[in-house]
Amino acid sequence: MSKNMLVLCTGNSCRSQMAEGYLKHFAGDKARIYSAGVETHGVNPRAIAAMKKDGIDISGHTSNHVDEFSDIDFDLVITVCDNAKERCPVFPSRARQFHQNFEDPAKVTGPEDVVNRKFEVVRDKIKAYCQHFVQDNLD
């Protein structure tokens, strides 16, 4: 039976979008993956580019507010930043909640290559987390 899974962060623009892409890749048909934010900031073009470099296309993703999914009974909820964990709504379901804070690459400033490298570093951390998460919680 496929599980409903939500990845939650502040703006649903970088970290949760990357996690959604990797979770869909690693989970296959074991889960329906959604991502949302406690705010919506649009999908960050640098997140799209960093994921594309690793062969995952998230260019069709949209930035969604968590309230849009209030009718879904989630089995698993992952918060990927401390702010979202603090502001995470209480889900009236049996959802198991997980938390892993990832640095926000969108907050990095400096030359383009430095900023892009930070997106790739965070992407790689999210990829490893998602791969292990699927192995530990969906197999």
Annotated active-site residue in 56, 81, 84, 130: 81
Model confidence at 10, pLDDT cuts 50, 70, 90, reads confident
pTM above 0.75, yes or no: yes
d(CA 78, CA 134): 12
* pLDDT tens-digit map of 52-99: 999 999 999 999 999 999 889 999 999 898 776 676 666 656 889 899
d(CA 98, CA 80): 9
With a CB cutoff of 8 Å and minimum separation 6, the contacts of 92 are none
* pLDDT tens-digit map of 103-112: 999 999 999 9
Partners of 35 in the beta sheet?
A: 7
* pLDDT tens-digit map of 25-47: 999 999 999 999 988 989 999 99
Annotated active-site residue in 5, 6, 7, 9: 9
- Which residue has tokens 């049996």? 94
Q: Which CATH class is domain 3-137?
A: alpha beta
Annotated active-site residue in 88, 108, 115, 121: 88
d(CA 16, CA 21): 9
Mean pLDDT computed over 102-126: 96
DSSP-based helix, strand, coil % in the chain, nearest 5: 45, 15, 35
| 88 catalytic per annotation | yes
Nearest to 49 by CA among 26, 84, 17: 17
| 81 catalytic per annotation | yes
Mean pLDDT computed over 8-33: 95
Who wins on pLDDT, 127 or 82? 127
